[in-house]
Chains A and B, each alone.
Chain A
Amino acid sequence: MAVEAERIRPARPAGQPGRPRPGLVTTGLVAPPLLWLGILFLVPVVLIFLYSVNVFSFFPGQQAFTLDAWKDFLDGGPFMDLFWKSIRMALIVSVCAVVMAYPIAYFLALVASKRRYVLLLLILTPFLVSYFLRLLAWKVILGDQGVINTFFYWTGLRADGDAVSWLLYSQFAVILTLVYVWIPFVALPIFVSLDSLDRRLLEAASDLGASRWQAFRRVTLPLSLPGVIAAFIFVFIPTIGEYFTPLLVGGVSGTMFGNAIADQFGQSLNWLNGSVLSFFLLVVVGLLLALFARFLTVRRLATG
């Protein structure tokens, strides 16, 4: 089919006749976006590193190379503990989000035949609503004087003032809110990978005597794994550095690594320490990205 032949045609190589100096044109095209990200993303990363070893300092005249702040941090202590706590919370959040969203994606891709795009839109729409407003909603719902607790008082399920206090300002609140925020985002890449699944493979599996469960475990699940991993990474990494969610609904026990960074640059005015924490976070993110790079392509993420 002509249509398909067109789609698999590789991108046209440079240097074909009719395109003068393709290298120069390419450079001219790609330079502005790369420069923008270079100057406002890569240069700042280098600056953070320089701050973290005190070659640059917030206080003029105090610049002197030192690794003390790094040693303090890596030796363990409250900040390192907070980092591991954030990793743990990010893991819980991303696993919960994937586990909850997978059946949704499966339902949309393989069961809800005709109306699946409408239903997909139904799942995705909450993601279009402001992140901050969705946080606010949970703050209003979970508080001691919030929707759930006052509902309990009102209906007499609990005595007036005897609030279920772990609902807000807790790790639970942070995890619940983040899972809520991420579910639509997670459902999308899983849906894309399940939607492109060749159904003849399932027919073949069943013809060869596989039960439905076997077909799912041996065919569907492995083939959807790239989408699952992409979704997982896309939740896990940003969640490690989450800032506003713990700030709004986390209280003391829900504090995360991002809050420590913000505090060092804000109230504590300790840019040296803050830079160590930020650069460490960037290194961890970089390593995770390198590890999972092949799952994070434009093709995997874009739906058109």
Chain B
Amino acid sequence: MDIGTSKAGRRTLAVWFGILVLFLYAPLLVLVIFSFNDNNLPVFPLKGFTLDAYRQFAANPELKASILTSLKVASLSSLGAVILGLLASIVLVRRTVFARGVVSALLLSPLVVPYIALAIGLLVFFNETSVPLGIQTIVMGHIVVSIPYTILILVPRLERLDVRLEEAARDLGAGWWQTFRLITLPLVLPALVSAYIVAFVLSFDEIVIAYFVNGQTTTFPLYLFSQLRFPTLLPQILAVAVIVMAASTVILLAAEIGRRVLERRLGTDLETIGTAPGPGGAPEPASAAS
């Protein structure tokens, strides 16, 4: 028997869940439907099925260039963010650090500070230091906002790693670099990959910072934004939107599932040696079984 919720309550909750799922997915569905609609404007009634928008998109060099720029920005900034995030996570989990609260607050603050304030700060900073605006400044800004996300992914993984594995390596004569390369790195690799992908998608999608420090560079979201003035281009934009939506969702879901599978495998391997709790071995609350 469920003591927390009555039967009617459970039913009401399930209905509400259904309504919210509809609310969350309906707008996305609208994007998909109208990208296939045979009309230059996204209006009812639907006229017919066409792939014109997709063909036009494939033939648009500016659009492709902007996607390429965004891919460049995203791959560089997520690499930087993962490296810096890993260093910070190791310190937060494994070491005592002076003013720990302040350090972790600073590291996580870009999560909450409105992007407009970050973007303006960067604009003022680059203006004062005469750094030319362009891909490099967007990358620098995106690293700032991606670091906390990588930390949120890496810290839990590092916490679940058995310190004794590293200690054993050290006892057996491995230096800190060897320990890191041969023990820590392989064990956090799945989390690193998933942190990289999250940072990548974040950067690919980011528009506020890119808007203020882009110079003459046009990233993909900036291109979409600049095209909104021309309503007849809308179906094309919708087509791109659908492709990007599908691609990023598939990549992210695959990465998340892959990470869980990999970590579970790493976890069970270790458990058979009888040393460490893997994520799969994380204890369920005892009451869950009752």
Instruction: Determine chain A's interface SS by DSSP, over half rule.
Output: helix
User: For the complex, is A45 an interface residue (Cβ under 8 Å from B)?
Assistant: yes
Knowing A43-B125, A123-B24, A244-B207, the reply to whether A136 touches B147 (Cβ < 8 A) is no
The answer, yes or no, to whether A291 is at the interface (CB within 8 Å) is no
Question: What are 28 contact pairs spanning A and B, CB under 8 A?
Answer: A7-B277, A9-B163, A14-B96, A30-B88, A30-B97, A34-B103, A36-B84, A36-B144, A37-B110, A38-B106, A44-B120, A44-B121, A56-B128, A107-B16, A122-B21, A125-B253, A129-B248, A130-B245, A131-B207, A132-B207, A136-B238, A139-B228, A203-B3, A212-B3, A241-B114, A241-B116, A296-B105, A301-B108
Complex Cα gap A44–B10 (Å): 50
User: Which residues of chain A come closer than 8 Å to B152, judged between CB atoms?
Assistant: 298, 301-302
Segment of A69-77, A148-156, A164-172 engaged in the interface with chain B: A148-156
Structural contact, A145 and B124, CB atoms closer than 8 A: no
Closest Cβ of chain B to A18, distance in Å, is 6
Residues of B within 8 A of A293 (CB): 101, 105
Instruction: Determine how close the nearest CB of chain A comes to the CB of B257; give it in whole angstroms.
Output: 9
5 nearest A-B pairs in the assembled complex, by CB-CB distance: A241-B114, A44-B121, A304-B156, A137-B27, A150-B43
CB atoms of A18 and B170 under 8 A apart: yes
Min CB–CB distance B200 → chain A (angstroms): 12
* Contacting pair A243 B41 (CB below 8 A): no
A98 to B236, CA, bound (A): 35
Judging by beta carbons under 8 Å apart, are A111 and B5 in contact?
yes
Residues of B within 8 Å of A37, CB to CB, are 106-107, 109-110, 144, 147
Q: Are A6 and B277 in contact (CB under 8 A)?
A: yes
- Residues A100 and B20 in contact in the complex (CB < 8 Å), given A36-B144, A40-B125: yes
Within 8 A of A (CB), among B32-90: 34, 41-45, 83-85, 87-88, 90
By a CB distance below 8 angstroms, the chain B residues around A48 are 117, 120-121, 124
The answer to whether B114 touches A258 (Cβ under 8 A) is yes
Is B24 in contact with A180, judged by CB distance below 8 angstroms?
Answer: yes
Question: Is B31 a contact of A11 with CB atoms below 8 Å?
Answer: no
In the complex, A29 has a CB within 8 A of chain B: yes
Q: B residues within 8 A CB of A241? A: 114-117
Residues B285 and A196 in contact, CB atoms below 8 Å apart? yes
In the bound complex, what is the Cα–Cα distance between A244 and B252 (angstroms)?
24
Which residues of B, 223-253, contact A by the 8 Å Cβ criterion? 224-225, 228, 234, 237-238, 241, 244-245, 248-249, 252-253
Does A64 make an interface contact (CB < 8 A)? Answer: no
Cross-chain contact of B114 among A51, A133, A240, A303 (Cβ < 8 A): A240
- B241 lies within 8 A of A133 (CB): yes
A258 proximity list for chain B (CB < 8 A): 114, 116
A283 to B90, CA, bound (A): 30
- Taking a contact as CB atoms closer than 8 A, the residue among A136, A216, A296 that contacts B4 in the complex is A216
A92 at the B interface (CB under 8 A): no
Known: A111-B13, A122-B21, A282-B117; 12 extra A-B contacts, CB below 8 A, are: A22-B95, A33-B147, A36-B143, A48-B120, A111-B5, A145-B41, A145-B43, A147-B44, A180-B23, A183-B24, A212-B9, A281-B114
A41-B110, A237-B114 known; A146 vs B43 contact (CB < 8 Å): yes
Interface residues in A136-190 by Cβ distance below 8 A to B read 136-141, 145-147, 150-151, 153-154, 180, 183-184
* A25-55 to B contact mask, C-beta < 8 Å, 1/0: 1100110111011101111110110010000
The answer to whether A26 touches B208, judged by C-beta atoms less than 8 angstroms apart, is no
The answer to whether the Cβ of B215 comes within 8 Å of any Cβ in the partner chain is no
B77 CB to nearest A CB, Å: 11
User: Majority SS of interface residues in chain B?
Assistant: helix
> A187-222 interface mask toward B, CB cutoff 8 Å, 1 = contact, 0 = none?
000000000101110110010000010011000100
Interface string of B275-290 (1 = CB under 8 A from A): 0110101110101101
Q: Size band of the A side of the interface?
A: 35 or more
Docked Cα-Cα span, A12 to B115, in Å, equals 36
The residue from B14, B104, B125, B283 contacting A47, defined by CB atoms under 8 A apart: B125
On whether the beta carbons of B288 and A199 are closer than 8 Å, the reply is yes
Q: In the complex, how many angstroms separate the beta carbon of A65 from the nearest chain B beta carbon?
A: 17
Verify if B192 is at the interface (C-beta below 8 Å from A).
no
Q: Tell me if B125 and A136 are in contact (CB < 8 A).
A: no
Q: Determine whether the beta carbon of B176 is less than 8 Å from that of A25.
A: yes
Known: A130-B245, A202-B4. A14 touches B23 (CB 8 A): no
A144, B214: Cα distance in complex, Å: 33
Q: Give the docked Cα–Cα distance between A139 and B112 (Å).
A: 25
Which of A145, A238, A261 meets B120, CB within 8 Å? Answer: A261
On whether the beta carbons of A302 and B125 are closer than 8 Å, the reply is no
User: Does chain B have a CB within 8 A of A82?
Assistant: no
- For A5, give the chain B residue with the smallest CB separation: B277
**Which B residues lie within 8 Å of A104 (CB)?**
16-17, 20
Q: Knowing A37-B147, A44-B125 are in contact, say whether A303-B156 is a contact too (CB < 8 A).
A: yes
Instruction: Name the residue on A nearest B256 (C-beta).
Output: A121
The residue on B at minimum CB distance from A298 is: B155
- B20 with A146: CB separation less than 8 A: no
